[in-house]
Structure 1
């Protein structure tokens, strides 16, 4: 097994008895979390359940440990349901690389490691590399020592390197992986063979202008006199070039996903491969896996066919020009080769939209903030919000339909796979949404068990409302995350009986695994294991890496927010409360997408405490609620911790 996989998926837990204070003390194995204020927590999860025990680790006991360390410890109940860990013993060190800044004391060098990773300075072995006080470095952990790997150049983006090391992301590809990618890129490829030839069918790709790893292409054709259309979603056949258990595959598996850090992408596959032979660039023949859907006039998918194909993209389009066509019939020069096909894309999208609306669920908007950077200095030059266009919505409908069809196709053939499952929300979380909606002037009307159609009706109510961002924030938390598993189940948010990821094998390993299983079946394999435990093991690994990627992307975003706002200390902005924490209010600046904390201790009329649902901060004479508009002033920023502090302006 690849050395970067096993530590990430190690199970930690206890003996399975009930977690109550009557069982104190007890010995457990858990994972260390480090708080920037110097203390820590031991997190222990009961195997096979979401139940978690969190035990406090005092600062002195945390000194020899790093975030992510697996340790055994004795946990003792300390009243009010709280636990304290003592007698910590290292079981496994999962972290191999750390970021920090050099501190010089009495002629010796120490490394002040990222506060999210360690609470103390570690002696640094610089080797033969000259270092000086305040240098930013990346070091490796070996036999309990911190040994310098490399020193960052002056002007390097410290935030970026800190986030990469903090979350154990893979920065560069090993040389043997790059060489294998180059060989795969340069190897002669026999085009065609038994593949279905789709080169004569008008086919397009739709992506952002900056995208280089294009992995999906679409075609739509009339299907017959009954009014049906054929939607062809063709996906780059990555598995043809990335052979299982090769160094290239093991590195992709260890990464599990591409990570999109503002200003830098850490791809799952080397660019030598993903942006060249695998990318569905226009006017080049490419091998794909295609799922062909027959969509009737009512928007129902009445048939699906899956096959290996040979395609040629007729045009590379971007979202803006496709949106201009969908909204205003505007034809860009790039569309000329597929001018006659464009109305059929719009028709297929409209039919799928009607069908999905009829079954409920919701499409989570990808409205987000994007940073722009000075090309000469790399400094953050701007921050602007981006909203989905009609073109984004069209492509999302096509990809969701393809993913659903593949999930059903594999299930009906008895092929185990990596499903994407989203459970029905917990009744208590549903009650939280009901309560907050009423407080905000909306009646969600959810029962104890929310339904996809009820969710869709609520989505329609809040669309465009002033409190929409706050309502969606509460709704997202109530819906919870989706996850990968070999065990088939519905995707509640999409109102899909079965779902998986098939359409992005260049950037998601789950999709690559699905491709391999499809091809195994197409090539005659039938000896599949029901709910194969190896696929479940892979699914759990991908879940872990996906969560790390999400946290890294969020940390990077928050650090750049802090950097961006550091030049705006003292300025005032209108904002809206989006979350309530035990220690204060999280507010988002109107039109700027920047979030910051208003500490509760700075609010007049205190003391304040959050209500049980953390939807309001309640004081003696005043209450602050999620969704409430406020005015704030920027007080301070901390880029290392990604924090912006506001003060309320009355």
Structure 2
């Protein structure tokens, strides 16, 4: 090493005291060793590191060696064949997470950001989707992406998965249902748990994949037969590793909690039981974590109370309940089924604001002026009693009938309608402020799957949003903004909901797409939320408005949880956090703990913070280590974990909805639907069905007979002979031709072009000599069988043969999933607000 040796490493190591508390003979902290290695031009031996730190004691030198090996094992640093250690970037290594592709190749998403690296089919034989790896960039590339080779797997994240068991020629193997995993799992004949051929099973991975061998496992659970009711949820839960059984020891904690709120828990709280707070949720909601009340003040401003179930009172840090909630991260809402973050005794009982029972709550009280500006706010602990459990449909109807002769609902809830009318007036003010601010308002259409008694899909219907939905959404947004601002004032380490500005590459792709439609995104190089909103408003009413909105959504970054506040781009908030759903989101529970600590220790806080909280006389202060034992490094890890569990839930839910919609269409093969062309490729058109929001492929051979040329820049297919043009966003009719449930694919036969999107005028084509020759050849009484890239000639039509289910190919011979996009790209959101 070239750096000057410190006389004692404890003088330079900022974490020396921490290490001294842990070990009798302390060694340098990981942070300090990493800092030292970063200063070196290349890898160095462990002896060199120990010498540089002037460590002579043999036990401590051995401690340095073991710590460096552990850091290498955990991917913080890397070691070479000589046993030297170095930081990753100076050894040309990248740490990241594997993302599998249904076609067998994959990518590595770098941990520290940057573009993904391509992994070939050969490299993907060594890993599963989701594994954490060290890779080294290699010569070559794939569609403009850098290519990499796997150097080492840091962590295997696939311990079990779901799939179908097949028996062939005395060999047993499980074919994973997860399309991102293209490796079959070999299973010994005596390790199948009695599963029959074709049944869905859960297989535990015994031996991970390698370059020379397939992974091996044993069946740990038999889920049941193919297409059994509810199988799609059982499979998704296992595929995505969603915790669904409660920890041992948790039930004893739950049993120790009283069935009703104890009297001693109600003291030292603001008593709101006489205030007509109400919950407003969907018809099928079972947990109610927010209640609202609004009244007009003398200066014509509004006082808004948002009361949220006080989950933090029952779920304490370090408890089994807390460990389970942390592991789950959030509730997962499947169609007609929920995997809750908390046990039912809390989620549907003590922490659910059910009507006519006492409940503990954390309250955000706001004063809002006629322009929708929050003038002041404060947080406090309360005890409340919901005066009604209302639904969006009920409140929406009462809003519509306001000023008319009293209807049945307005008569039934006569005592509450003045407060509901106040809420609606406040909503209009908040909505006006939002419009002036320029926040993006994506009007995504959700679908609801209706089952019959045997859980067979009866129908799929769009969910209509009314003013009641939007009213509650605005109230929750206001409370979340106040909570984020208070966290900033307090300077406590806490998770913000961060939505970064769109990346330049995504903006460039979006502008290219919009240009072909004759549209423009204003705002120059750095468009603001108001520019996106202006574009959304300009396409309202177009048949392709939904597709344009989806393209805008794809240009956005995914919102994440992190302790560094970087604002929320989409909502155009300087600071934003999640406060309103602690029953179903762990970040909200963390925020409640911080709020309770601030409330209970209000007098000890800075004056600005103390003004924003209220504590009742006699309430005891809470030690921070008891309720908020988190530092910044811990909060960073919590943010990464909660962001991961949110993505996990979204992916699992999307997969289940895709399965169910494919299953639904299996019973509707031959039927004709309207849809919009959602993507154009050289091999055909992807069409998304109206109302159902299921995507399928019209292969180029299913289009009217012609010789088609794909123009990627214009996102269209053009028939050379007929001049027919099929463009992104065109409205068409299609017939359901085939459904492959295992692959989640739908094939359509083309019907007719109903209407074309408005596009910018294109200059007349100037065909070159080759194109003129091709056109001339079409006039001759023969056809060519040759095709160029992006150009396909459809063969003469012939009767379709009935497709029969083929037997599964042998282990390892995965059938190609083809250049296909998954069908059923449904927008399925949780039943509550999750901005």
TM-score, length of structure 2 as denominator length: 0.70
Contact 1:69 1:95 in 2 (8 A): yes
Mapped contact 2:358–2:385 kept (Cα < 8 A): yes
Post-superposition CA distance 1:230-257 (Å, at most 9, x none): 0000000011111112121111111111
Comparing 234-243 and 364-373, the one that deviates more: 364-373
2:334 is aligned to 261
**Is residue 36 of structure 1 aligned with residue 102 of structure 2?**
yes
**Equivalent residue in structure 1 for 2:461, among 377, 384, 391:** 384
Q: 1:516 to 1:618 in 2, by over 3 A?
A: farther
- The residue correspondences of 1:539-550 to structure 2 (distance < 5 A) are 539-550=639-650
Q: CA deviation at 1:121?
A: 3.8
CA–CA distance in structure 1, aligned partners of residues 539 and 499 of structure 2? 22
For residue 70 of structure 1, the aligned residue among 121, 132, 148 is: 132
2:235 is aligned, of 155, 158, 162, to 162
Q: 1:283 aligns with which of 344, 348, 356?
A: 356
Q: Structure 1 617/421 Cα, relative in aligned 2: closer, same or farther at 3 Å?
A: farther
1:340/1:115 Cα in 2 relative to 1: closer, same or farther (>3 Å)? Answer: closer
Aligned to 1:272: 345
Greater shift, 93-102 or 315-324, is seen at: 93-102
Provide the residue aligned with 2:291 in structure 1: 217
- Cα deviation 1:309-329 (Å, max 9, x = unaligned): 111100110000100111222
* Match for residue 628 of structure 1 among 730, 735, 749: 730
1:126-525 aligned at under 5 Å gives the runs 129-142=193-206, 144=208, 145-154=216-225, 155-184=228-257, 186=259, 189=262, 190-223=264-297, 225-329=298-402, 330=407, 332=409, 335-375=413-453, 377-437=454-514, 439-440=516-517, 442-524=519-601
SS at 1:275 equivalent: helix
Deviation sequence 1:169-190 (CA, Å, 0-9, x none): 1223234334433433537633
Q: Does residue 197 of structure 2 align to residue 120 of structure 1?
A: no
Q: Is the 8 A contact 2:356 2:388 kept in 1?
A: yes
Q: CA RMSD in A?
A: 3.0
Deviation at 1:221, TM superposition (A): 1.6
Write the distance in 2 (CA, Å) between the matches of 1:216 and 1:136. Answer: 39
CA distance in structure 1 between the aligned counterparts of 2:580 and 2:75, rounded to whole angstroms:
30
Deviation for aligned residue 1:98: 1.1
Whether the 8 Å CA contact 1:111–1:124 is kept in 2: the answer is no
Task: Return closer, same or farther for 1:29/1:415 CA change in 2, 3 Å cut-off.
Answer: closer
Cα distance, 1:84 vs structure 2:
5.1
Worse-superposed segment, 230-239 or 547-556: 547-556
> Residues 71 and 601 (structure 1 numbering): CA distance in 2 closer, same or farther, change over 3 Å?
farther
Where do 5+ consecutive residues of structure 2 fail to align? 1-73, 79-86, 209-215, 606-623, 753-835
Q: 1:273 deviation in Å? A: 1.7
Name the CA distance, whole Å, in 2 between partners of 1:401 and 1:16: 44
Q: Which of the residues 98, 112, 121 maps onto 1:57?
A: 121
Q: State the distance in 1 between where 2:715 and 2:581 align.
A: 37
Q: What is the TM-score of this pair, normalised by structure 1?
A: 0.89
- The corresponding residue for 2:685 is 585
Write out per-residue CA displacement over residues 84-125 of structure 1, whole angstroms, 9 at most, x where no aligned residue.
Answer: 555665432212221122222345533222252342241146
Out of 95-104 and 386-395, give the one that drifted further: 95-104
Larger radius of gyration: 2
- Partner Cα separation in structure 2 for residue 128 and residue 530 of structure 1: 45
Give the CA deviation at 1:35: 3.4
Equivalent residue for 1:93? 156
Q: Is the 2:117–2:147 contact (alpha carbons within 8 Å) kept by the matching residues of 1?
A: no
Cα pair 1:33 1:68 within 8 Å, conserved = yes
* Shift in alpha-carbon separation, 1:591–1:531, aligned structure 2, 3 A: same
**For this pair of structures, how many residues does the alignment match?**
628
Tell me, yes or no, if the aligned pair for 1:366 and 1:387 is still in contact at 8 Å. Answer: no
Q: Is the 8 A contact 1:40 1:62 kept in 2?
A: yes
Q: For the residues of structure 1 that align with 2:296 and 2:646, how far apart are their CA atoms? A: 39
Answer yes or no: is the 8 Å Cα contact 1:282–1:314 preserved in 2: yes
Greater share of strand residues, 1 or 2? 1
Deviation at 1:492, TM superposition (A): 1.4
* Cα separation, partners in 2 of 1:74 and 1:600, compared to 1, 3 Å: farther
